[in-house]
Amino acid sequence: MAKKIASARISQSSSQLLQELNQSLPFDKLLYAEDIEGSIVHSAMLAKQGIISQDEKNEIHQALHQVKEEIEKGSFSLDGEDEDIHMAVERRVTEIVGDSGKRMHTARSRNDQVALDFRWYVQKHTLNLANLVKQNIQTLTKIAQNHTTTLLPGMTHLQHAQPINFGYHMMAYVSMFKRDYERLMDAYHRNNYSPLGCAALAGTPHPVDREFTSNELGFKAPTLNCLDTVSDRDFVLDILYNISVIMMHISRLSEELILWSTSEFQFVTLSDAHATGSSIMPQKKNPDIPELLRGKSGRAYGNLMGLLTVMKSLPLAYNKDTQEDKEGAFDSITTATLSLKVLDEMMEAMTINSDKMEQACMIGHLSATDLADYLVKKVGIPFRDAYHITGDAVNLAETKGLDISQLSIEDLQSIDSRIDEDVIALLDNRASMNARNSQGGTASVQTEKQIEVIREWLESL
């Protein structure tokens, strides 16, 4: 049996079970493009520094391009017995060009090689996720712009609280996604440093040029400390955390869409393209997409907790435990990418039933706080007294089967004679919504200002 590339010290053939446990090719083959490009830049640096000849570099480059083409055409399968993607690529390059291929790994370890491949992969997908988040921000902002005057019951404890506008509600999610975008970009800049050239853990005696490889690969600079670099997976934890928060925000919005699409609410109608039927009840239209999106947050949380647990006790430097860093990250990246795409598509196609929202504002005495504020400002009584007077008004409305905004001036004066007719206009739900004109509030004019801030921010990106 031919000796494996990375088995100089091992005299016996590996146990079959060890091979099954150790092999990462079935999942790290996703990194083939990053691995090949990293080897192209690494070998160019070796030639530049006189560590290998220009002819050897040219042969290596030609072979690497060939391997990439073979992988993408399917003529070179990545489902073989190679231990990982790095060994698979190196073996094939050596088959093509012989001894030149054996020189490709000079001044490099799989430790800095995998750190480069995976970091570069994460960086690319961080930018992709940021763009998808930005697209959702644009869509939600457009919805908000169309509904700055559409009344909606604002809730606390899932109970009707105060009247707001639907655009304002959408801008709350825009604010969440804006933070998600900023977290992704912060992580991108924090992690944009090249591991290549760190070798196993302590650098290399070869005269490598890490600035050259860093620049060629598009990083800001080489990493500072090689011991940290080869064992660092903070960049993976960053994207897993960021995805977990994104999925939490998606889950919160999904929960509201599920509620709003019920017969009890009827605030929104999901398009038929984004709903499913029942196998037994022909009348059903199920909100499967938001339900799936809500559920997928659990996958993202699990992947984050899994890697945190793997990393919590690892001594410096590299340990094989960190092979567990990839499958969860691949899964979370795929999950978040699909989730953001389908959420955006679903929100674009959703019908908003403004009349149902406004009807719901007549339930729950949403303008009750306005009566209390009126008593404080107009009559000059302490808020706590005004609070109790307002409670009496709510009780009266309940006995009459009315909303507080429907009480007559006679009804209100029967509770407190200091109340004047001007309060009637203030108890109107739309007036109540627009009365909250403080910065960041729900008044239509404030919602418009929030939309303008987001649009200016989007234009600045």
Residues with active-site annotation: 157, 278
Distances in Å between the Cα of 187 and the Cα atoms of 55, 164, 452 are 39, 35, 27
- The strand pair at 159-165 and 151-156 is best described as antiparallel
Cβ-in-10-Å burial (0-12, 13-18, 19+) of 289 comes to buried
Structure tokens at 231: 């064992």
**Which residue, 174, 226, 460, 168, is CA-closest to 344?**
174
Q: State the sign of the Cα–Cα–Cα–Cα dihedral 356, 359, 363, 367.
A: positive
User: d(Cα 177, Cα 133) in Å, to the nearest integer?
Assistant: 6
Q: Which phi and psi angles does 275 have, rounded to 5°?
A: -140, 165
Structure tokens at 327: 């499958």
End-to-end CA distance of the chain: 57
Asked if the peptide bond before residue 317 counts as cis, ω within 30 degrees of 0, the response is: yes
**Residue located via tokens 């005269």:** 207
SS3 225: coil
**Which residue, 300, 340, 407, 318, is CA-closest to 114?**
318
**Residue located via tokens 């990493």:** 223
User: d(Cα 137, Cα 144) in Å, to the nearest integer?
Assistant: 10
Q: State the sign of the Cα–Cα–Cα–Cα dihedral 405, 409, 414, 417.
A: positive
- Which residues is 159 bridged to in the sheet? 156
User: d(Cα 85, Cα 27) in Å, to the nearest integer?
Assistant: 9
Q: Which phi and psi angles does 163 have, rounded to 5°?
A: -75, 135
Q: For residue 74, how many other CB atoms are within 10 A of its CB?
A: 8
H or E segment and range at residue 201: none
Structure tokens at 309: 């647990």
Per-residue b or e along 303-331, where b marks 16 or more CB atoms closer than 10 Å to that residue's CB: bbebbeebbeeeeebbeeebbbbbbbbbb
**Which residue, 184, 135, 190, 143, is CA-closest to 339?**
135
- Which residues is 2 bridged to in the sheet? none
